[in-house]
Chain A
Amino acid sequence: MGNSTLLAIFVLLVATVALVPLAKAAGLGTVLGYLGAGVLVGPYGLRLVSDSDTIRNVAEFGVVMMLFLIGLELQPRELWRMRRSIMGLGLTQLLFTTAVIGVVLFFTGMRWQEALVVGLALSMSSTAIAMQTVAQRAMTKTRTGRASLAILLVQDVSVIPILAAIPILAIMQGAAPVDQVAVSTNVDWQTAVEIVGAFALTIAAGRYLIRPIMRFVAATGLREAFTALGLGIVIGAALLMQWIGLSPALGAFMGGVLLADSEYRHELQSDLEPFKGLLLGLFFISVGMSIAFSIVVAQPLMVIALVVALVTIKIIVLFGIGTIFRMQLADRLLLALLLSQAGEFAFVILQFARTSGSVTGQDVELLTVVVALSMALTPFLIYAFDRLMSPLLHTKPEASPAEIDGGHKVIVLGYGRFGQIVTRLLRAQGFEMTLIDDDPSQIRLMKRFGVKVFYGDGQRLDILRAAGADEAEMIIIAVAGGDRITLIAEMIRRQFPHLKVAARAIDRRHAQDLMALGVVVIERETFKSALQLGVKALVALGYAPHQAQRVAHAFERHDNKLLEDSFVLRDDQDAYIGFIRESSEMLDAVMEADRQQTGQSEADWSSAIGDIDKEARARSE
C-alpha cells in the first residue's frame, strides 16, 4: 500500500469525522455529511483526493453488503408475501417514471432511443440513500419501508435487461458503438440453465454448506474467523451472481434471504454492520466527489431545471402509485420523498450507454451531475418533511416496529436451565421472545426441540442491538456466572436506560451488586428451589402441607426484607454480619409467633369468647 493511498484514506476519514457528526447534529442525516465530505476533498473542492471512480468501485461493495443485510432481515416467506407489492409497486414505478421522463425528453428534442435509455437510467432510485434512511428511522418493517424495498428490488433486477437492451437501441439508432460491446442479447438456453443452476447452487450451499461451516466456526469461538466467514459469504454470493450476469447486489440479497432464518443471523449482522457503514459512507463520498462543479458553473440554470424536473416527476409518479395502492397520505408522501432521487444504477447505465454510443458523452456528464445533486437533495427533502409536513398531517408518518408487532418484546440472554423456564412462562403468555445463547451445541439441541435460539455473546453491545434491544421492553439476563451477569447488567443500564432489566442472581451478595446497578427484578437462582425442598421436607416430617408452605413463606418474606435492609450495610463487613446475625434471631422469634398463632385453637380463648358470646346474645335479645 503506497503512501498516497494511505494519505487518501486518512483524508477521507478526517473529512468524515469532521462533517458527518455535524450534518447529523443539524438533523440532516448522515448521508449529506458524507456527500459534503466528498465535495470538500474532491476534485472540485480542496483537490486532496481525485480518483473518485476507483473509490466508487470499491465503495459500491457497501451497497452489496447493505442488500445482504436487508436480505437477512427478510424471511423467505415474507418475501413471498411481498410478491404482489413487488410486482405491482415496483413495475408500475419503473414503467411510469421511465415513460414520463422519456416523453418529456423526447419533446425537448432527443431521439426516442436516447430518451428511453435516459428515462430508464433516471427511473432508478438510490438503494443506498433510501434504505440507509429507512434503517436509520427504524422503519424497515413498516409499510413504507417494505414498499421502498419492493420498488428498489425491481429496479435492481431490471438493470440486467436494461443493460442488455442498450446496445440494441444503439444499433437501431445507427450509432457506431464506441466500444465493441457483446451484442448477443438473446437469452439462450445455456444462459437460462446457468441462472437456474446458480440459484439452485446458492440455495443448496446456504443450507448444506454454509450452515455447518457457521456452526463449526462459531464453536471455535474465534470472532475474527466468523467475521471473515461473513464477508466471504457476501462476496461469494455476489461473485456467483456476477458470473452468470446478474447484479452482485441481487446475489447478496438472495444470500441474505437464505440465511434469514439462521440462528447466526444476529452475529452476522453485527459483524458486517461496521463494514457496511464505512463502505456506504465511502460510496456517498465518491458521489459527492463526482459532482462536477465546472458544469454547474457553466450552465447553472440548466442543471437546476433538470434536477427540479427530475425530482418533481419522480415524486409525482410515486405519490400517484401510493394513492393507487391505498397508502395513507403521510406514508405516501414519505415514500415519494425517499425514492425521489436518481440512484447509483443511473451512473452505471449512463456510463454503459456512453460506451455503446446510445447517449452522447456531453449528455452523460451533465446527467451525472444531475443524478448526484438529486441524491444530495433527498436528505433536505426528508428534513423538510419532518419539520413541516408531519406536524401538519397530525398522524404519525410511521408507527415504530414495536407498535406494529404489538410491542412487548422480551430478549433473553442465556438459554440454559434458568433461561428456559423463564422463557416458557412468558412465551405462554404471548410475549414475543428473542433468545440468545453463545453455546452452539445448546443451540443445536434446542433446534431439535423446535426452539429457535440465536447465536451470540450477550456481553456484546452490537449483538444486543442486532437482537432489537432498542425496541424491546425488557431484557432478561439468565446466563451463568455472577461476574458476567453483573457486566451485562451494567452495560445494559448504561446503553439502554429505557429497558426493564430482569437478572438472575447467584447469591445474596450478587443480588445486592445488581440492586446497586438499579436492576429491580432480581431472583436468587437457588433460593426458591431450596425453600421448596424445605417445604417438602417438612411435609415428609409430618407437617400439614399448608402449614409447611406458610412457614416457608414467612421465611421467604423475612429473608427478602433482610436482603433489602442490609443493602446499605453491604460495604461494612462487621456491621453486615452483625445485622444478619441479629436478624436470624429475629426470624426465629417471628416464625415461632406465627406458628403459635396459626396453631392456637379457639379453646385457648374459649372462656373469654364464651363471655363475649353471652354478652352479644344478651344484647341482641
Chain B
Amino acid sequence: MMTNPVLFVLAHPDLTSSRANKALAAAGTGVPGVTTLDLYSEYPDLFVDGFAEKRRIAPACAIVIQMPIFWYGGPGLLKEWMDRTFTAGWAYGPDDRKVAGKSLLLSMTTASDSGAWSPTGIHGAPVIEYMKPFQQFAAFCGMTWLEPLVFYAARTASKAALDAHAKTLAARLAELTGEQTNGQ
C-alpha cells in the first residue's frame, strides 16, 4: 500500500534543551512515511532557501508543524520559512496554487496550563484563537485545516502526560500517512 508522504516541520530554536518539543520531535520522526525538517538545524543562520523548500514541500500530502508558542505565534524562523516558501506564483496566484489540497496540522506546546488560555486567564483567550493567522494562511492557499494539537504546561507536565501526548501525535501522523495505527 502506498503511503501519503507527510512533512514534519520542527520549529524550535534549541531542540537539545527543550523537554516537550524534543520528545515530540522524536515521536514524530519515528513514524514511517514521515520526512522531518528541523528548521533551525537546516537554517542555523536564518537564511531560508525558498527554492529548496518548494521542492521539499511539493511531494507532501500533509504538513505538520511542531512548535512552541512564542508571543502568540510560532518562532520567528517559521514565519520566515512561510514568507520565503509560500510565495506568489507558487502558493497562490492566478494559475498556480501548488499547495492547494494539502492538509495543515499545528502541534503546539505552551508553558502555561490550559487555565491561562481562557477569557479569565492571563492570556485572555483560548490558544486556538491566536492561531487565526495560520488558519487563514491555510484557507488562502487552499489547504485543509486540521484540528490542532496542544500540549499545555510543557515544562511541568508529568512524564506520563508527555508520553501520552507523544503517542497521540505519532498516531495522528500515522493516520495522515494512511497507514494503519495498529488499533491504537
Contacts and interface: CB of A to CB of B under 8 A. Distances in A.
Q: Do A and B come from one complex?
A: yes
Interface in B78-105: 87-89, 92-94
Contacts of B47: 549-550, 553
Given A593-B51, A597-B50, A616-B140, A605 B45 contact: no
Contacts of B49: 554, 557
B94 A608 contact: yes
A609 interface: yes
A602 to B, nearest CB: 7
B139 interface: yes
B139 A608 contact: no
A604 B92 CA distance: 13
A611 interface: yes
B140 A605 contact: no
Interface residues of A, number: 18
A612 B92 contact: yes
A611 B51 contact: no
A540 B165 CA distance: 53
A608 B88 contact: yes
A600 interface: yes
A602 B89 CA distance: 11
A609 B91 CA distance: 12
Given A550-B47, A553-B47, A611-B94, A604 B140 contact: no
Contacts of A593: 51
Contacts, number: 29
Contacts of A616: 139-140
Interface in B22-71: 45, 47, 49-51
A597 B93 contact: no
A605 B88 contact: yes
Given A597-B50, A616-B139, A602 B88 contact: yes
Contacts of B50: 594, 597
B118 to A, nearest CB: 26
Nearest to A553: B47
Interface in A573-621: 590, 593-594, 597, 600, 602, 604-605, 608-609, 611-612, 616
A612 B88 contact: no
A608 B93 contact: yes
Contact of B88 (A553, A594, A604): A604
Contacts of B139: 616
A597 B92 contact: no
A600 B88 contact: yes
A477 B118 CA distance: 57
Nearest to B46: A553
A605 B51 contact: no
A600 to B, nearest CB: 7
Nearest to A619: B139
A612 B94 CA distance: 8
B88 A609 contact: yes
Contacts of A604: 88
Nearest to A604: B88
B138 to A, nearest CB: 12
A241 B90 CA distance: 85
A600 B50 CA distance: 14
B92 A553 contact: no
A78 to B, nearest CB: 34
Given A616-B139, A616-B140, A553 B45 contact: yes
A553 B49 CA distance: 9
A602 B88 CA distance: 8
A605 B140 CA distance: 15
A549 B45 CA distance: 11
Which among B51, B88, B94 has the highest number of chain A CB atoms within 10 Å? B88
Contact of B140 (A557, A597, A612): A612
Nearest to B89: A605
Interface string A10-47: 00000000000000000000000000000000000000
Contacts of B45: 553
Interface in B124-169: 139-140
Contacts of B94: 608, 611
B146 to A, nearest CB: 19
A593 B89 CA distance: 13
Nearest to A593: B51
Interface in A291-329: none
Contacts of B89: 605
Nearest to B87: A597
Contacts of A553: 45, 47
18 contacts: A550-B47, A557-B49, A590-B51, A593-B51, A594-B50, A597-B50, A600-B88, A602-B88, A604-B88, A605-B88, A605-B93, A608-B88, A608-B93, A608-B94, A611-B94, A612-B92, A612-B140, A616-B140
User: Shortest 10 CB-CB distances between A and B: which pairs?
Assistant: A605-B88, A608-B94, A553-B47, A608-B93, A605-B93, A612-B92, A597-B87, A616-B140, A550-B47, A597-B50
Interface of A: 549-550, 553-554, 557, 590, 593-594, 597, 600, 602, 604-605, 608-609, 611-612, 616
Given A553-B47, A604-B88, A605-B88, 7 more contacts: A557-B49, A590-B51, A597-B50, A600-B88, A608-B88, A608-B94, A612-B140
